Amino acid sequence: MTLHRRTDGSDADDATLVARVVGGDRDAFETLYERHHLPLFRTALAITRDRAIAEELLQEAFLKAYRHVARVSLDPGASLKPWLHRIIINLAYDWSARRRARAEPADAPVERLAARTLSPERQVEQRALAQVVDEAVADLPFKQRVVVILFYLQDMDLVEIADTLNLPPGTVKSRLYYGRARLRARLESDVRLPVSLEVAHATPHAR
C-alpha cells in the first residue's frame, strides 16, 4: 500500500478516525498519518541515527498500523500516538538487534536532546557537541535509550512513556534515572568536551 501524504482537513479526533478506517475510509488513515508521522519519524531517527532507515521504519510502522488498527479501542478524545510509538519502537528494537553498525549522526533531534541535557550555560557550542551527545545516547542500553529519547525528544512525561511502552511508571522512572546517569557520566568523561561542562540534574516527574 502506498501512503499519499495528504490530509482531508478533518478535525475529528483519533478515535473517530480509527472508526472510519475500520469502516474502509482510507482518507481517514491518511489524516492519522499526517497527524502523527513527524514525531514517530523523529523517534525512529534518534534511535537508528539513519534517516533512510528511520523513513523505512516509519512506512513499515504505518503499514502495520493499518493492518491491525481494527484491534485498537480508543476512548473519545484519546490519542493514537502511544500505540503508534509502541509499534515503531518495537520495529526499531528489531532493527537494532539485526544491525550494530552506526550511521552518520542525525543533527536536528540530537541537538534538541543536547539542549535539554546540557545546562543552559554550556549550549554555545551545542552544534559542535551534538555528535558527542549522539554517540553517548547510542551507547545506552536500548531500553534506557528509548526512555531517554521519549522523555527529552518527544517531551513525554513518565505516565505517557509508561502508557506507550506498556510498563509501570516506576520502571520507566528507573530506566530514565539510570539512563541519564550513564549519559551524564559519559558526557562528563569525554575528552572532546570542555572540562567545565555541566549536565542538568533535573529530577524526572510525572508533569
Instruction: Return the C-alpha torsion angle 9, 11, 15, 18, nearest 10.
Output: -10
Report residues of the chain scoring pLDDT below 50: 1-9, 101-108, 124, 195-207
Model pTM score: 0.69
The whole-angstrom separation of Cα 40 and Cα 87 is: 10
If we measure between CA atoms, which residue out of 28, 24, 22 comes closest to residue 7?
28
Domain architecture of the chain: domains with CATH: 14-98 (1.10.1740.10), 107-189 (1.10.10.10)
CB atoms within 10 A of CB 87: 19
CB atoms within 10 A of CB 205: 8
If we measure between CA atoms, which residue out of 122, 65, 131, 73 comes closest to residue 102?
131
The per-residue pLDDT for 98 is: 77
pLDDT digits (tens, 9 = 90+) for 47-99: 888 899 999 999 999 999 999 999 998 899 999 999 999 999 999 988 888 76
